[in-house]
Structure 1
Amino acid sequence: MSANQSDFEDQVSMTVDDDEISGYESDCGDSNSAVSDRFDVFTRNGMIRLEEENSAHDIIKTCFLSGMGFAGGDTNLVAIHKNVSSDVTRQARFESFKIFSKAVAQKCGGNANVKYAWYGGSKDELCEILVHGFSRCREPAPNEQSYGVGVHLISPVFAYDGALSSAVDERGLRHMLLCRVILGKMETVAPGSKQYHPSSKEMDTGVDNLQFPRRYVVWSAYMNSHIFPVYVVSFKAPSPNVVSGIQPSIQPRQANTSKPTSPWVTFPALMFTLAKFLPPPKMLLIVKSHNEFRAKRISRPQLIRKVRQIVGDNLLIQVIKAFRSKSLHPASAKRTV
């Protein structure tokens, strides 16, 4: 596990206790206030808005914006709602989660490996999950790589991956679930795999990379016993391009009618593409360097030099040359470690 993931888990308690759903009303806002009217679809379904002064709100906001990487500066977190419903169905679902957590812990030598993970979707889909649980394993989006047939969740430090699966609602907002997930003993699932259940009784869930996990896969048989939605994060970006990591290119000046002879790509788009081939630690270094450049702490030549050192010229040239023709596929480039 990377240091960033460890930091997130250290800040947000992972203890499964009886007060996780009920008893948090004092830390939350008034669900009947005028400010919450635009989120009534959540409050009507057992969610209560966290006040900005709440410590959990501050931690989640910091981790969310950090996980948005290069898009973090253009993203505005609007609200966080917490699952504190005490209705019978929600309580039963939480009790089931605790029972399975204990069972997996017993099977795995005392550690159920419970983690937080993001799940992005449309507002309607997330509300259906909150009320009825997961009902299907969603097909991966065109820009997503499939790792088996199951519910795909995103590591806490890669919130922007979850944002790619979100959808803009009628108010221009996007939404993601922050869930607790019982991972148990994980096994590596290859990209494009059609696996839909554990490979053996010893295994519980799938993951794209055991050492640096980015995507978790919970098989359909376990999707409502091993996943419990705890928070809904609502956010807004200036445009869909910011969330997708591809920003509009700058139009050339009228006086300069000649076109560049070498391939080009905007830097956010380059990072978005490189994320398909590089492991999380290297992507975090690139994001950090880009943030330093945006803050004017390093120059453009310094940024380019750092990226070349991190990525390597061979892969970098291949990505840049193939970007505009869309001819580059994950299988055609060797993933570096």
Structure 2
Amino acid sequence: MVVEDQVSGTIVNEEIPDATFESTEVDSGFRFFVENGFANKIRKSTSEDSIIRASFFSGMGQNLGLVEKTKIVAIHKNLNPSCSGKVRAQSFQVFAKAVADKRGGDANLKYAWYGASRDEICEILIHGFSWYRKAAGNIDCSRRCISLSPAKFSFDSVLSSEVDETGLRHLLLCRVILGKQEVVTDSNQFHPSSPEFDSGVDDLSAPRKYIVWSAYMNSHILPCYIISFEAPYLRDSKGLLEANTIQPRSPWMSFPKLISMLSRFLGPSDMASLNKQYADFQEKKITRPQLIQSVKEIAGNQLLAAVVNLYINEELQVSSSRRSSK
């Protein structure tokens, strides 16, 4: 309870306190991070380590099965040792002060998660966030914004991570300047709708996505930690997709439910495409196989399988609760 209080009162709104964390040992498995600025692995059981771990696992939701199957292997801290790293950190402070001055003293700084492949994370460490990302089929696609998950929703970013050749996945825990936020519903929006706003959000009262426009992605987002973890349940769930789990009239999950759950993880542009494909299917403009193929291309097999697995786990938990209450 003490740690959870620290998480809710520290990582969500304040700074994570430094601890005695420095290690002179360099694990060869993490040399790619160490060589790019994350020079120290935080020691276990320090306050810094405990707060980050508690936030990560509390963000996995109420499903104890997922938590039990997930293991944090290492947490590395960004010390910004390079010249470019120092400049980015200083720039972040300058912009935070500028937004605070504009917003009556509150820059609305938050911690947020960003999930990606190890290669993309390494690129971010070296060069910063990019205007392009790898989509389905390993195709470069331009993007209008960077979407991050609030500190208490780490699982949303876990689904965006990719397993590397060692079996690990990686998340960035970033400090983000949000300022005044606006709800983003237009998939074609690529900047604030007016100077009144600084960033976007999917829901003002209960956000699951922080949206930072591409023009601000390297001034308003500062990577602070890399969390490396094992999540075998994501690999185990791949076979679910090819069964009958995403058929429109599946006994497991309907398309409307699938689309609703995918909205937690996909950006406005992808959701607009997904909704259009489903509308075309309802109007009989495309066939069921064409719809399924479109959903796979938009969301990707890995995200689809993980969402289906999450849904099944939630349904099993609800059923178990109902049986125990009888």
TM-score by length of 1: 0.67
Residue number in structure 2 paired with 1:37:
28
> For 1:5-84, what aligned pairs fall within 5 Å after superposition?
8-12=7-11, 26-32=20-26, 36-47=27-38, 48-69=40-61, 70=63, 71-84=66-79
2:251 partner amino acid: W
Is the 8 Å Cα contact of residues 111 and 173 (structure 2) preserved in structure 1? yes
Aligned match of 2:320 in 300, 313, 336? 300
Comparing both structures, which one devotes a greater share of its residues to helix?
A: 2
Residue number in structure 2 paired with 1:94:
89
Is the 8 Å Cα contact of residues 175 and 224 (structure 2) preserved in structure 1? yes
Residue number in structure 1 paired with 2:251:
264
Structure 1 residue 6: deviation in Å?
A: 9.2
Distance 1:140 1:56, change over 3 A: farther
Residue number in structure 2 paired with 1:311:
none
Write the distance in 2 (CA, Å) between the matches of 1:62 and 1:232: 15
Write the distance in 2 (CA, Å) between the matches of 1:13 and 1:239: 27
Structure 1 residue 54: deviation in Å?
A: 1.6
Write the distance in 1 (CA, Å) between the matches of 2:112 and 2:72: 17
Is the partner of 1:138 in helix, strand or coil?
strand
Structure 1 residue 149: deviation in Å?
A: 2.2
Write the distance in 1 (CA, Å) between the matches of 2:205 and 2:23: 39
Write the distance in 1 (CA, Å) between the matches of 2:258 and 2:79: 36
CA-to-aligned-CA distance 1:11-41 (integer Å, 9 cap, x gap): 3385579xx9xxx684232243xxx221111
> For 1:1-337, what aligned pairs fall within 5 Å after superposition?
8-12=7-11, 26-32=20-26, 36-47=27-38, 48-69=40-61, 70=63, 71-138=66-133, 149-190=144-185, 193-241=187-235, 263-265=250-252, 275-276=261-262, 300=320, 302=322
Structure 1 residue 116: deviation in Å?
A: 0.6
Q: Gaps (5+ residues) in structure 2?
A: 138-142, 244-248, 265-309
Structure 1 residue 63: deviation in Å?
A: 1.3
Structure 1 residue 163: deviation in Å?
A: 1.1
Q: Gaps (5+ residues) in structure 1?
A: 143-147, 250-261, 279-286, 307-337
Count of matched residue positions in the alignment of Structure 1 and Structure 2: 266
Distance 1:248 1:134, change over 3 A: same
Is the 8 Å Cα contact of residues 12 and 111 (structure 2) preserved in structure 1? no
Aligned CA-pair RMSD = 4.0
Identical aligned residues as a percent: 42
2:225 partner amino acid: Y
Runs of 4+ in 1 over 3 A off after TM superposition: 5-9, 13-17, 137-142, 241-249, 270-278, 303-306
Is the partner of 1:213 in helix, strand or coil?
coil
TM-score by length of 2: 0.69
Write the distance in 1 (CA, Å) between the matches of 2:146 and 2:5: 23
Worse overlay, 53-62 or 148-157: 148-157
Write the distance in 1 (CA, Å) between the matches of 2:67 and 2:241: 13
2:30 partner amino acid: F
Is the 8 Å Cα contact of residues 28 and 54 (structure 1) preserved in structure 2? no
Write the distance in 2 (CA, Å) between the matches of 1:248 and 1:304: 32
Residue number in structure 1 paired with 2:268:
none
Write the distance in 1 (CA, Å) between the matches of 2:98 and 2:157: 29
Is the 8 Å Cα contact of residues 19 and 46 (structure 2) preserved in structure 1? no
Write the distance in 2 (CA, Å) between the matches of 1:244 and 1:188: 33
